[in-house]
Amino acid sequence: MDNIYSYLPLERLQSIFSFEVGDGSSLVFTKLDFWLFFLLVMVVFSFLNQRKLVRSIFLTAVSVFFFYKTSGLYVLLLGLSITVNYFLGRTIFKLDSSIARKWIIAISAIFNLLILGYFKYAYFFTDSYNDLILTINEAFGTNHGTVELVNHFAQFGNGFFGEDTFVEKILLPVGVSFFTFQNISYVVDIYRKEIEPVKNFFHYSFFVTFFPQLVMGPIVRARDFIPQVTKPFFLNKNDFSWAVIQIVKGLIKKIVIADFLVMHFIDKIVFVPEDYPGFVSVLAMWAYSLHIYADFSGYTDIAIGLSRLMGFKLKKNFNSPYKAISVADFWRRWHISLGSWLKDYLYIPLGGNRTGSIGSYIAIFFIFLFLLFITQWWELLYVYAGLTVVYIIGLLTIKDFKRYVHRDLNLIITMVIGGLWHGASENFVIWGAMNGCALLIYKYWRKISFYEKSKHWVATFWKVFLTFNFITFTRIWFKLDEARTSEGISTTEAEKLPGKMLGQIWNNFNFTWDAFVKVLDNYQAVFWIMLAGFIVHWLPNKLKRFVEREYTLLPVYVQVLAVAIIIFFVYQAIGAEQPPFVYLQF
């Protein structure tokens, strides 16, 4: 826990604003250092907020420094990405030739995906290749060799800046998945003539680097944010109060719910599922679903609140996802910025619901090969063959079935890539593929379901219960991928954990009332927090908006007193260790 008396104020500020690079943990939203950093930024910002260009330059500098504190000289990579995409955007806007414009968009895609692929997936693909070669060679009884990966960027940087400037192990620059997607969407939107390029470089650099959402999102679209960059600063009492509500709400979600659940219950169960009856693993995964929602939505609540204090509006990223009545409904409510990005820049270009192209077939072929490559489950060949037969029969017997084939292919491609975006691991790919298959099944099931359109509370309860438990089930792969970075758990063991947990649930569920009461007694605080968290989540949105509206109407001194009391009690929940935000790894 932060000790606010551990440094004199001046010494602490010197530490925060020094150019000493750490792991970035001191500037996360739950730490005192961040709030001192933000307070000083706001003091300076208050003198500059009506001068638009100066404001953009200042916030770019602040954001670049913020990124530097987390990733060191990999800030140069961020700078290169911004510069290249800024000039590609201007170039593509000036060109009249369709072919030339397509070349520029191709260059942009290759450049951005190369950055993302190299720094995020290089080790993953190399390890998968080495595992595959080992498997094949063992099967044929031959010698095997492996490929080692060298960070050529680091070697070049060390030659230019001096030895040991860059670590020669490939590190993942914080937020690379988010700022890469923002750069791609900017150039694509100009190509589609939906927006015009930003005239001033610093307005564009501010859009990409804006520090509240730089490292963990939400993914900001140029057409939504850039028009705000040149608008006069405006913040009234209602906006200020609403922003404070979002920040406080986010801190409660992260500290009181997410961190408490993972430290005091989830991690004690999921990494050693064989030590507990199977029903305890189910409780742990329910807790994990609440944890990951509270963790990620807590971050975005704070980011949205901070942005509003500076006069900028970010779109909502979550909409009560556990109220979803289907998998499709869930993905309309969860991580909305990523879902809309994948829809607009991947799913629809592939053909969406209506059509497909040769690209869809090529992509699905390589995805099938890719799944074989990373999992080495050769039984998948039988699955692929069976699905091929089913679709061929459908094409021969059902009118317009080709449209459904295209939709299904496009959807699977999108969800697998969405899973891979979350992390360089076969577990994330499996998780994405499972959700893609569930979406396909739902699209067919809803045509024959007898309760799909029912508004009866029993039908609604069943649909919410089924959706929540399916989503929770798939997160076994999502959560247990974290074991790869847990102390004492090897990659090989981490890959076995999903199977162990499922086996324990299936073969050793062992639910008894006495055992259940004992678990409740041992983890009493955990289950009270879970109960409160789910109840608040499932409250009607009208009630939540009413509470927010009533708070904004209170006198300022009452608001300040209320926030001070809440924050005081929130920080009593902080333990000796503070888990990082889950999406920091993406």
Q: Which residues are catalytic?
A: 422
The position carrying tokens 């975006």 is 421
List phi, psi (to 5°) of 453: -95, 5
Cβ pair 183, 107 in contact under 8 A: no
DSSP-derived 3-state class of residue 533: helix
Task: In whole angstroms, give the CA distance from residue 176 to residue 158.
Answer: 21
568 SS3 class? helix
CA neighbor of 468 nearest in space, from 253, 320, 569: 320
- Separation CA 579–CA 263 (nearest Å): 8
Q: Are 82 and 173 in contact (CB under 8 A)?
A: no
Burial of 356 (0-12, 13-18, 19+ CB in 10 A): buried
- List, in sequence order, every beta strand (DSSP E) within 322-408: none
Best CA proximity match to 285, nearest among 473, 542, 43, 15: 473
DSSP state of 210: -
d(CA 505, CA 481): 19
- 285 touches 530 (CB < 8 A): no
d(CA 20, CA 282): 44
Helix (H, G, I), strand (E, B) or coil at 266: helix
State the angle between helix axes of 75-94 and 201-209 in degrees (0 to 180), rounded to the nearest 10: 130
What the block records as the tokens of 556 is 């300022």
